[in-house]
């Protein structure tokens, strides 16, 4: 590869990306990041949460995916998580969208239901899950969903998506990954249903299909609908990349325009976890790229594939775009360590992300506002107090 052609490949990442009526100023996505700074009681969005999302936009991310917002109290997945379940939702999205749009970036609001992935630290009583199986590491049980529960939860997702649209977001992303409710339906370990939502891979993907179709019907045609999936469940007895690819294709056939490729959950063996520890630039980058390639090969040509997880350097990301493995590239921890990473890269400082993939940020998010105690001075930036 000549030096010039490598440079051209890298420059493609910084050119605008157009898909239908959606355009982003570059191909970099700040992947969803729970910041641990919403109001712990009400789930209200705080000025601090808005500033931190805006910071990623100011730092050059062409698209910012919000932190995961719960669609109902029953579906809360973490402490100090954002709640998009009530009437104030559209107004909160408006504040977030204005802050992100002010920097020329797009906002996608991520919506989630925890299903049975619950902890007594935040759960308000037992939740619901496909079959009432207690999830790994959980100290709170759940009950099996009835048909009425399924209908209700589908409606809650559609209502949350509408709030995101009313608030001026550019789209929503269904959080179908990392062990939450959608993953639980896809999983043969956690979905033991004997009706049409369980059994075969097609049946296990039914909830996801209905979810995509329901959200699409609610928001109409021009609003972005992304789905984040753990393409490989990463558990013994769980689903593998073939079923994960099938789920991705099912989502795309049911109204989604993009699939964001991820893997596993926080309870899976380390190599399959979404936030892989110890990624090293140029060596162990892009561990989930094979799943993106599988989807790309079989997805309709106009589907958008977003690859997230362990992306750390320009040559690797540019190579993935050049080979056609993915269209957009999600980074999460690198933006926490270095919010202005994309601007730095655009300004010809091509050193890889300074993130050492230690996951200290995840631990700080559990205790309060997310931070990178390793790479980043806590006093840096203009973050508003909580
Ligand atoms: C602090 C933190 C918060 C996260 N919050 C979310 C979230 O709200 N929704 C989600 O889909 N993924 C979440 N993730 C996972 C990331 O979006 C991403 O999939 C993962 O970290 C791999 O990307 P990276 O190697 O660039 O960090 C989070 C990760 C971290 C470290």
Ligand 1 centre to CA of 44 (Å) is 20
- The number of beta carbons lying within 10 Å of the beta carbon of residue 223 is 20
The CATH number of residue 262's host domain is 3.20.20.70
What does the pLDDT read at residue 2?
56
Measure the CA–CA gap between 37 and 307, rounded to whole angstroms.
Answer: 26
How far does Cα 237 stand from its chain's mean position? 24
What does the pLDDT read at residue 4?
60
Please indicate whether residue 262, judged by its CB atom, sits closer than 6 Å to ligand 1.
yes
Residue 187, domain member (yes or no): yes
Measure the CA–CA gap between 231 and 218, rounded to whole angstroms.
Answer: 26
Residue 65, domain member (yes or no): yes
Residues 6+ apart with CB under 8 A from 326: 261, 289, 292, 296, 305, 306, 307, 320
Of 32, 316, 366, the residue with max ligand 1 atoms within 8 A of its CB, to mutate for a pocket test, comes to: 32
Please indicate whether residue 173, judged by its CB atom, sits closer than 6 Å to ligand 1.
no
What does the pLDDT read at residue 379?
46
For the chain, how big is the Rg over CA atoms in Å?
A: 19
Residue with the nearest Cα to atom 11 of ligand 1?
32
Measure the CA–CA gap between 167 and 175, rounded to whole angstroms.
Answer: 19
At residue 122, φ and ψ (nearest 5 deg) are: -140, -15
The model carries a pTM of: 0.96
3 state SS for 99-117: HHHCCCCEEEEEEECCCCC
Place of tokens 């921890």: 333
Look at the chain and report how many structural domains it folds into.
1
Residue with the nearest Cα to atom 9 of ligand 1?
32
Measure the CA–CA gap between 329 and 35, rounded to whole angstroms.
Answer: 20
Measure the CA–CA gap between 292 and 311, rounded to whole angstroms.
Answer: 13
Measure the CA–CA gap between 45 and 327, rounded to whole angstroms.
Answer: 30
Residue 384, domain member (yes or no): no
The tokens of 255 are what? 């109204």
Residue 293, domain member (yes or no): yes
What does the pLDDT read at residue 123?
84
Q: Are 204 and 198 in contact (CB under 8 A)?
A: yes
Please indicate whether residue 369, judged by its CB atom, sits closer than 6 Å to ligand 1.
no
List of the chain residues with pLDDT < 70: 1-4, 376-386
Residue 311, domain member (yes or no): yes
The tokens of 252 are what? 């795309």
- The number of beta carbons lying within 10 Å of the beta carbon of residue 271 is 11
What does the pLDDT read at residue 58?
97
Please give the mean pLDDT across all residues of the chain: 94
Ligand 1 centre to CA of 194 (Å) is 33
Residue 372, domain member (yes or no): no
List C-alpha distances in Å: 79 to 83, 159, 190, 214, 234.
11, 22, 23, 28, 25
Q: Is the dihedral of CA 379, 309, 277, 234 positive or negative?
A: positive
Measure the CA–CA gap between 132 and 294, rounded to whole angstroms.
Answer: 32
Q: Using one digit for the tens of pLDDT, what is the confidence trace for 129-176?
A: 999 999 999 998 899 999 999 999 999 999 999 999 999 999 999 999
What does the pLDDT read at residue 377?
53
Ligand 1 centre to CA of 70 (Å) is 16
Measure the CA–CA gap between 193 and 382, rounded to whole angstroms.
Answer: 50
Residue 36, domain member (yes or no): yes
Residue 188, domain member (yes or no): yes
The tokens of 151 are what? 């209908």
Structural domain harbouring 41: 8-14+21-367
Residue 253: burial class (beta carbons within 10 Å; 0-12, 13-18, 19+): middle
Ligand 1 centre to CA of 66 (Å) is 11
Please indicate whether residue 56, judged by its CB atom, sits closer than 6 Å to ligand 1.
no
């Amino acid at each position: 590869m000549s030096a010039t052609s490598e440079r051209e490949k890298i420059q493609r990442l910084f050119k605008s990306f157009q898909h239908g009526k959606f355009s982003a100023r570059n191909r970099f996505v700040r992947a969803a990041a729970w910041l641990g700074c919403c109001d712990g009681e009400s789930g209200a969005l705080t000025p601090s949460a808005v500033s931190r999302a805006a910071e990623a936009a100011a730092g050059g991310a062409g698209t910012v995916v919000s932190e995961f917002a719960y669609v109902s109290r029953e579906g809360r997945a973490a402490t100090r998580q954002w709640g998009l379940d009530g009437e104030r939702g559209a107004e909160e999205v408006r504040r977030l969208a204005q802050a992100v749009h002010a920097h020329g970036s797009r906002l996608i609001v991520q919506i989630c239901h925890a299903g049975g992935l619950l902890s007594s630290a935040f759960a308000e009583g037992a939740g619901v899950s496909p079959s009432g199986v207690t999830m790994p590491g959980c100290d709170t049980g759940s009950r099996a969903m009835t048909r009425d529960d399924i209908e209700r939860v589908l409606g809650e997702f559609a209502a949350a998506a509408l709030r995101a649209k009313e608030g001026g977001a550019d789209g929503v992303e269904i959080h179908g990954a990392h062990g939450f409710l959608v993953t639980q339906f896809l999983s043969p370990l956690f979905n033991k249903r004997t009706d049409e939502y369980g059994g075969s891979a097609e049946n296990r993907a039914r909830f996801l299909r209905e979810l995509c179709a329901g959200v699409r019907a609610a928001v109409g045609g021009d609003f972005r609908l992304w789905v984040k999936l753990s393409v490989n469940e990463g558990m013994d007895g769980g689903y593998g990349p073939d079923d994960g690819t099938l789920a991705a294709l099912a989502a795309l056939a049911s109204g989604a325009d993009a699939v964001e490729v991820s893997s596993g959950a926080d309870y899976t063996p380390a190599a399959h976890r979404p936030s892989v520890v110890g990624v090293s630039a140029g060596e162990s980058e892009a561990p989930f790229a094979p799943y993106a390639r599988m989807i790309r090969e079989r997805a309709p040509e106009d589907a958008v594939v977003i690859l997230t997880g362990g992306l750390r350097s320009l040559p690797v990301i540019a190579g993935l775009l050049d080979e056609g493995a993915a269209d957009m590239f999600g980074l999460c921890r690198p933006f926490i360590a270095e919010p202005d990473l994309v601007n730095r890269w655009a300004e010809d400082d091509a050193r890889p992300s300074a993130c050492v993939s230690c996951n200290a940020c995840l631990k700080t998010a559990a205790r309060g506002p997310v931070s990178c105690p390793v790479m980043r001075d806590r006093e840096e930036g203009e973050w508003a107090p909580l």
